[in-house]
């Protein structure tokens, strides 16, 4: 279960979300695997950072950006940003059948409009929906 975040705004470190919504969330398996791999013995008090910089100091956004860009370059991925991980995760949660309320809770959204930004669709998903509706109607699609 994930219970906190770490943000830096104007040089101040905050553990609150911008909506002030707090609470535990189950972590998706890929994230849980990465957190299990990370040195969990560093996690202390509720306001302590989850990730640290190499010398044990608080992880600064600039350092995170540099390492993110290096990883994307090494993986030959372009135009991919940390927030895209949030979009991907919440889109997958939606595709797994989560309700709007589920997505709003996971994303800590206050409105359906905010939640809707993370619900992406496409041709493959459209075909899945048509097939499911046809199955509900007892019909087969070509």
DSSP assignment of 101-130 = HHHHHHHT-SSHHHHHTT----HHHHHHHH
Q: How far is it, in rounded angstroms, from Cα 121 to Cα 71?
A: 27
Phi and psi dihedrals of 75, rounded to 5? -85, 0
Q: What is the pLDDT of residues 32-79, one digit of tens each?
A: 777 776 655 555 555 566 667 777 777 777 888 888 899 999 999 999
Q: Are strands 12-14 and 7-9 parallel, antiparallel or unpaired?
A: antiparallel
Q: How far is it, in rounded angstroms, from Cα 42 to Cα 40?
A: 5
80 band by pLDDT with thresholds 50, 70 and 90: very high
Report percent pLDDT > 70 for the chain: 71
- Is the pLDDT assigned to residue 105 strictly greater than 70? yes
Structural domain boundaries of the chain? 1-78, 81-142
């Amino acid at each position: 279960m994930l219970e906190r975040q770490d943000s830096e705004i104007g040089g101040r470190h905050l553990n609150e979300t911008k909506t002030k919504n707090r609470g535990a969330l189950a972590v998706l398996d890929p994230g849980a695997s990465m957190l299990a791999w990370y040195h969990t013995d560093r996690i202390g008090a509720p306001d302590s950072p989850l990730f640290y910089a190499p010398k044990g100091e608080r992880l600064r956004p600039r350092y995170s950006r540099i390492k993110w860009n290096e990883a994307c370059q090494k993986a030959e991925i372009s135009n991919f940003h940390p927030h895209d991980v949030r979009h991907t995760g919440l889109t997958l949660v939606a595709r797994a059948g989560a309700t709007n309320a589920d997505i709003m809770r996971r994303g800590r959204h206050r409105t359906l409009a905010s939640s809707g930004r993370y619900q992406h669709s496409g041709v493959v998903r459209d075909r899945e929906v048509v097939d499911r509706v046809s199955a509900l109607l007892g019909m087969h699609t070509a």
